[in-house]
Structure 1
Amino acid sequence: MAVNYALLSTTSTALGRVRGFTITLLYMLYYGGGRCCDLAERCGKSQNYVWRYLKNMERYGLALKNGDFWFLTDSGVEFVKYLDVVYNNIIDYRKKVERKSKEDRKKVESKQPKTTKQIPISFWLKNSGLENVEKEVVEVLLRHYNETGSKFILVKDQFELSEKLKANPSEVLEALKNLRQDNIIYLYRSDIQGYWKIGVKTSFLKILENRINS
């Protein structure tokens, strides 16, 4: 997906201010226009909150309003493409770091082997009825639990989790909302430098653990 950098340069003075929730709205609008009330409902924010960000995006030349609906401008579309390029580069870099970390961890584990209680993943996921992104979130959390014994992971925002899952940020937001409603995970902002804590609920783990003994 080629990026039109010439078009981006026309709004370059504003792009440095684009971060956080603005990026969430960019991705939400990238897949089709939406009314402010619909966008607010999807992301769990108030309409006034979303409206302020949309107006800023309009001022930056990234979004425009047609009737009741908001859409991305050509510059907005190109900026989302640019973000995808950046995220892919970050993913590639983190893969290299993770590979190195895994290699180092294997060396340590080979010297000090230890046994951990494993929670069955594949069978439950196959019959869970969850959407693909929801399955990927649960799989990441359970794999982390099996490897470390910790029920949660810390992420800076949904984009960091999106990079892990190679999924669209808006789809990840929807998956987290659904999993929390189904009492499979918990999600809240921790006291550790503003990171989000995402973890599997103890009650859900007990259900899976009972299947080991059944």
Structure 2
Amino acid sequence: MANPIIEAKNLKKIFNSLNVFQDINLIIESGKLYSIHGKSGAGKSTLLHLLGILDTPDSGEVIVNGTSINHLSTKEIALLRGENLGFVFQSYHLNNKMTAIENVMLPLYINPNYQYEEMEERASDLLKEVGLVNKEKHFPNELSGGENQRVAIARALANNPECILADEPTGSLDEDNENNIFEIFKNIVESGRTVVVISHNEKIKNYSDACYILDNGVLKEE
């Protein structure tokens, strides 16, 4: 078995006295693409936030790269997240006053291992990796939705995380751009990293090593 990047053990989450889910167990291994499906309101985004240690469960345990978050401080959790995980969201979350390359450089400013020239070179290489070699100086409003999502993916890769977690990454895109994003995720996995995708889009199953469905608070492998 490949080394686990994320382990979820008996996760339970409650909102307004209602169980969103309970007893969720999942192992995310290196070098694979995972997809999680479910109806709107099933708790998919909540689960992704727990797996990405952006939120904490009401009970259970999340382990990232061998480290349990149960007894870590907020600062320690943030450090663990920054060292191991990258995130992609449906709405891109780009800074509209920054160019594509500046947006990709943002996570590198808090990385002491990079000088400015190295940050710029790293960001440029990542934009090439996602097919935006001639778009470095463009602002978000000068790019298409698919291009902005590719900038967001490049930014998520900036600190070389072990795992990318993507929440409805193609939800606002047309079919051609959907396919581009899925191919990029496939390439990321082929490079040895891991991708977890939350999506309504059934097409991601064609690219996935493992598919799960979240239904009535229960996570099942398909």
TM-score for the superposition, normalised by structure 1: 0.34
Specify which structure has the higher proportion of strand.
2
Of the two, which has the highest radius of gyration? 1
